[in-house]
Amino acid sequence: MTGRVVVIGVGNPFRRDDGAGPAVVEALRARGTAAAVLAVSDGDPGRLLEMWRPADTVVVAEALRSPAGRPGRLHTVRAERAASLAATTASTHGLGLAETVALAAALDRLPRALVVHAVEGADFTAGVGLTGPVRSALPALVRLVADSVRAGQRPRPPSGGVR
């Protein structure tokens, strides 16, 4: 079965920098990224697990909280490491993306490939609008996600990953 490429922007636009993921999806939607399924998620595990099928390539855009970090810095994490992000993803809910990936692995429901592009945020308090460093990093984050979408759409051997 041929899989789709699914882009998921995870986060809450009403929690300032947590809105980076949805903002990436909005940017891709505006430029009309063909042949990829675009979705946003608040990080709810039940709904996230429903967003992909085993044959899919999943590209996630997300915000990271890193207390000693540098807001606006970009990170790329693949499925095998995504579960180790538990302590740092900025989900406003008890189970976030990292737990969902670990849960998917425990239930044999991981997609064929999963890559997370994340930006370090500065402010996750209630409110709208991204902070300056995250806003400045957004075009680069969109490029990373778009590159992964293109890589996911190329035919590849069954064991192929996504860049």
Partner 1 sequence: MSRGPSRVLRLDALARVEGEAAVRLRLRGGEVVAAELRIYEPPRFFEAFLVGRGHTEPPDLTARICGICPVAYQMTACQAIEAACGVTVDGPVAQLRRLLYYGEWIESQSLHIHLLHAPDFLGCADAVEAARGHRAAVERGLRIKQAGNAVVEVLGGRPIHPVNVRVGGFYRTPSRTELVPLAERLRRARDEALETVRWVGGFDFPEASFDGEFLALHDPGRYAIDSGAPAVLPAPESREGRRSFPVTEFENRVVEEQVPYSTALQSRLDGRPHLTGALARYALNGRWLHPTAAEAARGSGLGDPTAGVVCRNPYRSIVVRAVEVVHALEEALLIIEGYRPPARAQVAVPVREAVGCAVTEAPRGLLYHRYALGPDGAVTRARIVPPTAQNQAAVEEDLRRQVGARLARSRSAVGDGELVALCERAVRNHDPCISCAAHFLDLTVERE
Chain residues binding partner 1 by CB under 8 A are 12-14, 40-47, 49-50, 83, 92-95, 99, 102-103, 105-107, 124-127
Q: Which residue, 46 or 157, is less far from partner 1 as judged by CB?
A: 46
Cβ at position 37, least distance to partner 1 in Å: 13
What is the spatial distance between Cα 149 and Cα 48, in angstroms, rounded to a whole number? Answer: 18
Give the number of C-alpha atoms closer than 13 A to the C-alpha of residue 110, restricted to the C-beta side: 18
Rounded Cα gap, residues 13 and 123, in angstroms: 12
When the beta carbons of 74 and 103 are compared against partner 1, the nearer one is: 103
Residue 94 or 158: which CB sits closer to partner 1? 94
Distance (Å, whole) CA 62 – CA 48: 13
**Nearest approach, Cβ of 44 to partner 1 (angstroms)?**
6
Smallest distance, Å, CB 14 to partner 1?
5
| Residues 74 and 20 sit within 8 Å (Cβ to Cβ) | no
